[in-house]
Amino acid sequence: MNSTSTNTDSLTSRASWLTLAKTVGFVFSIALPLLVARRMAPDEVGVYKQVFLIVNTAVVVLPLAFSMSAFYFLPREPENRRAAVLNILLVLTAVGLLGCAAVWFFP
């Protein structure tokens, strides 16, 4: 058995797990709104939609695309990798705490 077939098997295995996860996520994204609409009162559905919109917007906006810097800086400067990871971790932690404080103090 050569190394090419084990890499292909590994890649195939990872791709199939990713495909399965994406499929399950798609099924939930279709089923969840239907279940919410059936189980909740109309005013509760509106609050749910509003909270869902705010949380999704915060998840996209709060990190300020800082995680993308990992894809830029990590491969370019291997000798500074630890400092870059630490900086990214600190900024994302600070932003997470900022979001947590916002929800905590302004529910």
Q: Check whether 4 has a pLDDT greater than 80.
A: no
Q: Looking at residue 28, what is its pLDDT?
A: 93
* Contact indicator for 64, 28 with CB cutoff of 8 Å: no
Considering only residues 100 and 77, tell me which one the structure prediction assigns the higher pLDDT.
Answer: 100
Work out the average pLDDT over 71-94.
Answer: 82
Q: How far is CA 12 from the centre of its chain?
A: 23
Among the residues of 1-107, which ranges form H helices? 3-39, 42-61, 66-76, 81-105
Q: Give the span between the Cα atoms of 66 and 91, in whole angstroms.
A: 8
Q: What pTM value is reported for the model?
A: 0.54
State pLDDT tens for residues 12-67. Answer: 888 999 999 999 999 998 998 899 889 999 889 999 899 889 888 888 887 777 77
Q: Give the span between the Cα atoms of 11 and 5, in whole angstroms.
A: 10
* Ramachandran sector of residue 64 (left: φ over 0; alpha: ψ -120 to 50; beta: rest): left
Q: Looking at residue 8, what is its pLDDT?
A: 54
